[in-house]
Amino acid sequence: MTASTSESSAAGRNQLTAGPESALAGVRVLDLTDLRGGYCGKMFAGLGASVTLVEPLDGVRSRHRAPVSQREGLDSLSFTFLYEATGKRSVAIDLEHPDGPGVLLRLAAAADILIEDRGPAYWNARNLGYEELSQANPRLVVTSMTPYGQMGPDSEREASDLLILARGGMLSLGGYSDGQPMRPPSNQAHVAGASFAAVASMMAFLAAERDGQGQYIDLSLQEAITMTLENAAHYWELEGTIRRSFGERQRQAGTGVIRCSDGYVFVLAGGIGGNRFWPNLVDWLTDEGVEDADRLAGEQWSDLSFIATEESKAIFSEVFGRFAAGKTKAELGERSQRWRVPLAPVNSPADVLDSPQLAHRAYFVDTPLPNGERSLFPGAPYQLSETPWLPSTEPAPAIGAHTETVLSSAGFDAEEIAQLRDQQVVR
């Protein structure tokens, strides 16, 4: 792949709005997620599917779940909703009204994929279980994301992001050496479940496009988080050892978080593939004129048992720590790469917004907000030569902003829609 073809095709096509060139053009997704699964529909929308958020008349709970924006005119919308709902349409249906479920069934009849995160009990109680949905549309793929999935002793248990991270094992691998585990930001249990749900839903949709038959997908957020255990389960099985967090300490000499003049860097120079990066590190420090760089040289540094010792970690801390204290994280990030040493600045979002690499790739995209203003959003997670990811031309929708459009494209006539509105079945 040459630089020129990649850039010109990606940049050129990104100007277009969703059209026949989208990979998922014509794919209709009903997004019935309330609190956890919004990222799934976002992945579909980015590649050109038409994603419709189906909300209660007063909106889904994710709209105002903290943290919320304080920006004027944004009506305390949550950052999660702004991020995940931008690019989706909104239709508001009161499913507690006796006529509400019938409206949803008609929308389902005209959809390809339905995703939800309230669990089957909620839908069964409204006669909207998989049986009813698949009768209305045998091609429909229905995907449920629930904390623990739909079999087993905890299938009905309620949970939240932190609890799933705990029960899935991910928390046990993080945290400080002397304290409790620490939760990552932005609800990673929700995102993990939602992104695996997107893969599974797409897989099932491709099957339905081939043979006209839909299916039901039961996704467990706990299992999605269990995928993050790396080799920890295998350490337990094969060696009987429990992997723990290394936290603020070095995992082995040359691997860990190190303070520098304006923050921190994460260095991963030790213990990779037979310590293959170690000689690069020594060369780098020698070239920088670090006086005691030779303390890091010698055969013992390629011995895994030596670099596991406190002695070796202390030497690394002294030598590298003193050097790093006089450099910024950006300087260290830049120079380490010149010497082929895996090291990265511990960036804040503000630092990342300044990344020349992401600027080159036009990663952050100027995106409309519901108050008529605009802001940068994280953009394409991938660049495709033929069917690029598309930034949204519309802001996150108001409740029911597309009720009329969506209902009429599903075959409701104007009179029906007016009547449903009058009876407050839809908004």
Partner 1 sequence: MSRRPLEGIRVADFCWVGAGSYATKILADHGADVIKVESSMKVDGLRLTPPFAERRAGVNRSGYFADRNSSKRSLALNLKHEASRELARRLIASSDIVANNFTPGTMERFGLGWPTVQQLNPRAIYLAMSMQGSTGPYSHHLGYGLTMGATVGLQHLTGDPDREPIGTGTNYPDHVPNPTHAAFVVLAALRHRARTGRGQYIDLAQIEPSLSVLGPSYLQWTVDHDAPTRQKNRDDNAAPHGVYPCRGERSWVAIVVEDDDAWQTLVRVLGIAPQPSWSTFAGRKADEDRLDHLLASTTSTWDLGDLVVELRQSGVLAEPVLDAQGVVEDEQLAARGHWVRLEHAEMGASTYNAWPHRMSRTPWRLGPAAPLLGEHTDEVCREVLGLSEGEIAGLRESGVLK
Question: 348-367: which residues touch partner 1 (CB under 8 A)?
Answer: 348-353, 355-358, 360-361, 363-364
Cα of 264 vs its chain's centroid, Å: 25
Pick between residue 125 and residue 199 the one whose CB is nearest to partner 1: 199
Q: Which contacts qualify for 261-264: CB closer than 8 Å, 24 or more apart?
A: 261/324, 261/325, 261/326, 261/327, 261/328, 262/328, 262/329, 263/328, 263/329, 263/345, 263/346, 264/329, 264/345, 264/346
> Could you give the CA distance from residue 9 to residue 15 in angstroms, rounded to a whole number?
10
Tell me if 188 contacts partner 1 by CB under 8 A. Answer: yes
Of 386-415, which residues contact partner 1 (CB under 8 A)? 386-387
In this structure, what token pair is assigned to residue 281? Answer: 């590190």
Tell me if 295 contacts partner 1 by CB under 8 A. Answer: no
Of 206-245, which residues contact partner 1 (CB under 8 A)? 206-207, 209, 213-224, 226-239, 241-245
Write out the H or E segment, with its range, that includes residue 161: helix 161-167
> Could you give the CA distance from residue 251 to residue 310 in angstroms, rounded to a whole number?
10
The minimum distance between CB 179 and partner 1, in angstroms, equals 8
Tell me if 6 contacts partner 1 by CB under 8 A. Answer: yes
Tell me if 33 contacts partner 1 by CB under 8 A. Answer: no
Pick between residue 226 and residue 419 the one whose CB is nearest to partner 1: 226
- Determine the residue type at 262: D
- Interface segment toward partner 1; rule CB under 8 A; list 52-60, 92-100, 148-156, 305-313: 148-156
Of 155-174, which residues contact partner 1 (CB under 8 A)? 157-174
Tell me if 330 contacts partner 1 by CB under 8 A. Answer: no
- Determine the residue type at 209: E
Beta carbons within 8 Å of 371's beta carbon, 6+ residues apart: 71, 72, 73, 74
Tell me if 268 contacts partner 1 by CB under 8 A. Answer: yes
Q: Are 150 and 218 in contact (CB under 8 A)?
A: yes
- Interface segment toward partner 1; rule CB under 8 A; list 63-71, 119-127, 281-289, 411-419: 63-71
Tell me if 204 contacts partner 1 by CB under 8 A. Answer: yes
Angle between helices 38-46 and 188-211 (to 10 degrees): 50
Q: Which of 14, 56, 57, 71 binds partner 1 (CB under 8 A)?
A: 71
Pick between residue 51 and residue 219 the one whose CB is nearest to partner 1: 219
Tell me if 306 contacts partner 1 by CB under 8 A. Answer: no
- Determine the residue type at 215: Q
Q: Which of 343, 401, 406, 417 binds partner 1 (CB under 8 A)?
A: 343
